[in-house]
Structure 1
Amino acid sequence: MTEIWKEAWFPWAVGLAIGLPIVLVVLTEVYGSLLRRGNPAAKPVRLLRNLVVPVFALFVLLTLASDQQFDLNWVRVVGTVLGFLLILLVLSAFNVALFANASEGSWQKRLPSIFIDLARLALILVGLAILFSWVWGADVGGLFAALGVTSIVIGLALQNAVGSVISGLLLLFEQPFKLGDFLDTPSGRGRVVEVNWRAVHIDTGNGIQIVPNSSLAGASFTNLSQPAGAYVATVAVKFTTDDPPHRVSTLLRSVASTLPMLDPADKPAVSYSGNGAYSVDLPVVSPAVESEAVSLFLAWLWYAARRDDLALDGDSTDPVNTPENVREALSFVGPLFSLDDDYLDEIAASCRIEQWGAGEQVQGIGVVPDSLRIVLEGALQLTTPYDNGRLEFAVVERGESVGLTSLTRQATSYYATASRAVRILRVPRDAVDAAVRRNPALARRIGEQLDNRRRMAVDAIASAREASGVISIGDAA
């Protein structure tokens, strides 16, 4: 009886019995380390540990140890499985090396996934063909020739359809736009909401427009979202040649700078082209708000131009600001401030009625008002700065006023915004001073209103902090 250690398979069996556990332990530690760091290489290492190494060990034991090579079918089956696993391992390793850690903007990120899938499928088919030729002795040359002829025939028959698909895929590879970008194409304009291998879906605001990739690849279009930064909406307006250009330009910048959809990193620009024509550039945050920004700008400009007696579109007439309406408004205001008719007649010429559109800022913060503004119609919303925003704390309605610090010459501490279209009686600061001299009690009433509003603002801030669970040091004390 031959000693067992003299058998041909014994050294291989001992080597596998010792080496296989060591290799598996090492791979387990490597896999655990990669997994904890979130490294994408953990996936091929797991495949290597769980499948490739055990099947390779079995294959070595069956072939080298028993010296069978591929003479038995079951040895060929194990060799086929090992070859397929090696193909998967190589593909997984290449995927990690080329695509897993690719940076934004690189060709790996721009490459459409369908290209990757097709390349992966082609490599698997070629690998399997080589594997079957090596292990089973199959003749794959004729199969490749047949596939080549068939591909040529199919390509000629479907050249138009395939050409459209390929051009679309090349467009995806170039990636001149991405999801969320705004495109201006010959067939429509809107925001890109979906991109696939066949078509681009564009939200036009009136539905989803499906644009084939081949159409975009063969046409000229504009990506309104590139380069990064503000999107500039241009508005053309017309005044009369009698309006001083510097006054008009100042008014246009003032109105444009208060638009809520402006990009905070940029400023509006105004250019004068002569003959009363002006162009205003509005740097908005997105092309999606272009129409809203232009509409709101033109609406607010209508009110502002009439307040400044400038002739927008050649019309400077303000049917509201008439001597009769001003005197009627003063008759309403006089009893509220204990002012007699004689004094009202004196200041009527210096007062005027203003119109403000919904959303316009009637009073800013940190400025000394040049007049007292009394609400005749509509309402003003008072807000105070809070946590990089504004906090509402009061509403000014008919008979109430803003600009109270025009008397004390103090800077304003809150904003006043028209919550809807309002009419306001503007009383100049000099007239307010003269009214206080005639009626000293008026100064006390204005002071009480100032204190009341400051208290309301402080209470609103305290309530907001309490609701959010934030307590200041002063509140805690």
Structure 2
Amino acid sequence: MEDAFRDGSAWWVIALAIGVPVLLVLLTELLAALSRRNSPLAGPIGLLRNWVLPTGALFALLAFAIQSPADQVWVRVVATVFGFLVILLVLSSFNVALFANAAPGSWRERIPTIFVEIARLALVVVGLAMLFSWVWGADVGGLLTALGVGSIVIGLALQNAVGGVISGLLLLFEQPFKIGDWLDIGSVRGRVVEVNWRAVHIDTGSGIQIVPNSSLSGASFTNLSEPPGPYSANASIKFSTDDPPHEVMALLVAVADALPMRLPGVRARAEYTGAAAFSVSIPVSGPSEASRTLSMYLSWLWYAARRHGFALDDDDTDPVADPERLAAAVRTVAPSLHLRDEDRDRVLASAHLERYGAGEVVLPAGVVPNQVLIVVSGSATLAVEVDGGRIDVGRAEPAELIGQTALTRERTQAVTVAAEILTVLVLPLDTVDALIRTRPRLAAEIGESLELKRKIAEESLGAAGISARSIRSA
């Protein structure tokens, strides 16, 4: 016994018998606390408690307490396992310290996982080489040299394939774009749906375009989704040199601001670039809305330009301006206006036809109309604007009137929107007043129609749980 205390083996036995259980209890409590908080440190602590500490205790028992010869195989095996577990513990701790709590946007957060895994593998190989050299006395220099030469040969043979992978890894690390961003690469424009080591998958709307990472890393491209914020859908438009530029710009902005896709709170912009050419910038939520916005904008602008007499693309022809179509429209609505033969000439002299594209606002809410519209073909929807939305309260079918409040000099309470391609006969207020003075029955019908529409609007709002006071009026 005295010899055991004299050479220190007994102290090792006592230290292991007391210290290992105490450390196990402390590490168990610490691991439970870290697990409850979902701390990334729970991984290294669990590895330390379950594997490193027991294996280290066994190695200390064999090497220092029992004092087994260091050249015995089973001592070397335990030492090798213990050393490997220590290497894993150190790497796990560094991984938690560097990457577990990386700030968003930092280089630690952006670095691809593959880079971390490659570095970890390299450190494990180096650590094992040092461990085998120390424990087993192995000569690992030759093996490392052979591996290095082999890696060079394989790299030269696969340089094209490896180059694409490296380009992909660099793109993943730099992150100039992310899934969902819109890219313009010159020949390809679309939304990124997948990014891997070899290529980027871009949804162009007509299929998935596969763009190799090597092409992206060696060329310039535009990330349409950066910086965050409003995205502008841009269009270049030409009119006739006879059209007044300021009036044209006002029309361009008015049509753009009426688009439902326009970003709320941000107005469109129009600029005159000379030679009857204009540029329009429409703020939308993102590139995904640009194509649909421009399609609707250009179609609405075609109708609006002809209503204002402007020559869009140097063409001011409008089929509804044909006098024969106007005469046919007057004959169609004559029964609704109780027109006599002598009244038709007055209406033909003052009225004209207008067309609206589907979705265009024909008559906004909160204005006093200065003319009355009669639906010739198509239909319109009457809606009440409440809390930024619209509630449909009726429709205007062929031969029905729009803007009857012009006769009572009241503001409109509903917005009228073309439900489809809509053609209307536009009657000046003076003409309608003259007809009413000689047609008491027409005045009564217009009044009844106006009251009926108000009643329907109140019932529709009531069904939606909204008071009639919520009807918007400027």
TM-score, with length taken from structure 1: 0.87
* Aligned counterpart, 2:373: 373
1:81-160 correspondence runs (5 A)? 81-160=81-160
Q: Alpha carbons of 1:463 and 1:36: their partners in 2 closer, same or farther (altered >3 Å)?
A: farther
CA distance in structure 1 between the aligned counterparts of 2:380 and 2:122, rounded to whole angstroms: 70
Q: Which amino acid aligns with 1:248?
A: V
* Aligned counterpart, 2:55: 55
Match of 2:104, SS?
A: coil
Q: Alpha carbons of 1:69 and 1:245: their partners in 2 closer, same or farther (altered >3 Å)?
A: farther
Deviation of 1:169 after TM superposition, in Å, equals: 2.3
* Aligned counterpart, 1:264: 264
* Aligned counterpart, 1:468: none
Q: Alpha carbons of 1:249 and 1:387: their partners in 2 closer, same or farther (altered >3 Å)?
A: closer
* Conservation of the 8 A alpha-carbon contact between 1:262 and 1:282: yes
The one-character-per-residue Cα deviations of 1:249-271 (angstroms, maximum 9, x if unpaired) are 11111112222333335322111
* Aligned counterpart, 1:318: 318
* Aligned counterpart, 2:358: 358
Q: Alpha carbons of 1:92 and 1:457: their partners in 2 closer, same or farther (altered >3 Å)?
A: farther
Q: Alpha carbons of 1:348 and 1:37: their partners in 2 closer, same or farther (altered >3 Å)?
A: farther
* Conservation of the 8 A alpha-carbon contact between 1:167 and 1:214: yes
Match of 1:89, SS?
A: helix
* Aligned counterpart, 1:288: 288
The one-character-per-residue Cα deviations of 1:157-204 (angstroms, maximum 9, x if unpaired) are 333443343233223322222212222224422221111111111122
Match of 1:306, SS?
A: helix
* Conservation of the 8 A alpha-carbon contact between 2:241 and 2:276: yes
CA distance in structure 2 between the aligned counterparts of 1:309 and 1:9, rounded to whole angstroms: 107
CA distance in structure 2 between the aligned counterparts of 1:285 and 1:60, rounded to whole angstroms: 66
* Conservation of the 8 A alpha-carbon contact between 1:111 and 1:172: yes
Q: Alpha carbons of 1:31 and 1:401: their partners in 2 closer, same or farther (altered >3 Å)?
A: farther
Match of 1:236, SS?
A: strand
The one-character-per-residue Cα deviations of 1:69-113 (angstroms, maximum 9, x if unpaired) are 634333333322222222222222222222222223221232222
Match of 2:260, SS?
A: coil
Q: Alpha carbons of 1:133 and 1:292: their partners in 2 closer, same or farther (altered >3 Å)?
A: same
* Conservation of the 8 A alpha-carbon contact between 2:164 and 2:197: no
CA distance in structure 1 between the aligned counterparts of 2:337 and 2:109, rounded to whole angstroms: 71
Bigger shift: residues 292-301 or 23-32:
23-32
CA distance in structure 2 between the aligned counterparts of 1:253 and 1:247, rounded to whole angstroms: 10
Q: Which amino acid aligns with 1:130?
A: M
Q: Which amino acid aligns with 1:76?
A: R
CA distance in structure 2 between the aligned counterparts of 1:458 and 1:6, rounded to whole angstroms: 103
* Conservation of the 8 A alpha-carbon contact between 2:80 and 2:132: yes
Match of 1:385, SS?
A: strand
* Aligned counterpart, 2:36: 36
Match of 2:349, SS?
A: helix
* Aligned counterpart, 2:472: none
* Conservation of the 8 A alpha-carbon contact between 1:200 and 1:213: yes
1:402 aligns to 2:402 (yes or no): yes
* Aligned counterpart, 1:73: 73
CA distance in structure 2 between the aligned counterparts of 1:194 and 1:81, rounded to whole angstroms: 41
CA distance in structure 1 between the aligned counterparts of 2:463 and 2:36, rounded to whole angstroms: 45
Bigger shift: residues 346-355 or 15-24:
15-24
Q: Which amino acid aligns with 1:48?
A: L
Deviation of 1:337 after TM superposition, in Å, equals: 4.0
The one-character-per-residue Cα deviations of 1:226-248 (angstroms, maximum 9, x if unpaired) are 22233333322222222211211
* Aligned counterpart, 2:163: 163
Q: Alpha carbons of 1:77 and 1:176: their partners in 2 closer, same or farther (altered >3 Å)?
A: same
Match of 1:320, SS?
A: helix
Deviation of 1:341 after TM superposition, in Å, equals: 4.5
Match of 2:241, SS?
A: coil
1:174-323 correspondence runs (5 A)? 174-323=174-323
Q: Which amino acid aligns with 1:206?
A: S
The one-character-per-residue Cα deviations of 1:342-375 (angstroms, maximum 9, x if unpaired) are 4453343332211111121222233333322221
The one-character-per-residue Cα deviations of 1:261-317 (angstroms, maximum 9, x if unpaired) are 333353221111233222222333333343333232221111111111111122223
Match of 1:279, SS?
A: strand
Bigger shift: residues 161-170 or 89-98:
161-170
Q: Which amino acid aligns with 2:74?
A: W
CA distance in structure 1 between the aligned counterparts of 2:99 and 2:290, rounded to whole angstroms: 38
Bigger shift: residues 240-249 or 44-53:
44-53
Bigger shift: residues 84-93 or 449-458:
449-458
Q: Alpha carbons of 1:220 and 1:347: their partners in 2 closer, same or farther (altered >3 Å)?
A: same
Q: Alpha carbons of 1:154 and 1:318: their partners in 2 closer, same or farther (altered >3 Å)?
A: closer
CA distance in structure 1 between the aligned counterparts of 2:454 and 2:58, rounded to whole angstroms: 85
TM-score, with length taken from structure 2: 0.88
* Conservation of the 8 A alpha-carbon contact between 1:55 and 1:82: yes
Q: Which segments of 5 or more consecutive residues in structure 1 lack a partner in the other structure?
A: 466-470
**What is the Cα-based RMSD across aligned positions, in Å?**
3.0
CA distance in structure 2 between the aligned counterparts of 1:21 and 1:429, rounded to whole angstroms: 99
CA distance in structure 2 between the aligned counterparts of 1:463 and 1:16, rounded to whole angstroms: 81
* Conservation of the 8 A alpha-carbon contact between 2:330 and 2:347: no
Q: Which amino acid aligns with 2:176?
A: P
Q: Which amino acid aligns with 1:418?
A: A
CA distance in structure 2 between the aligned counterparts of 1:446 and 1:132, rounded to whole angstroms: 101
CA distance in structure 2 between the aligned counterparts of 1:116 and 1:217, rounded to whole angstroms: 21
Bigger shift: residues 142-151 or 441-450:
441-450
Q: Which amino acid aligns with 2:351?
A: C
Q: Alpha carbons of 1:418 and 1:33: their partners in 2 closer, same or farther (altered >3 Å)?
A: farther
1:446-465 correspondence runs (5 A)? 446-464=446-464
CA distance in structure 2 between the aligned counterparts of 1:335 and 1:204, rounded to whole angstroms: 53
* Conservation of the 8 A alpha-carbon contact between 1:310 and 1:316: yes
* Conservation of the 8 A alpha-carbon contact between 1:338 and 1:439: yes
* Conservation of the 8 A alpha-carbon contact between 1:331 and 1:341: no
CA distance in structure 2 between the aligned counterparts of 1:45 and 1:454, rounded to whole angstroms: 74
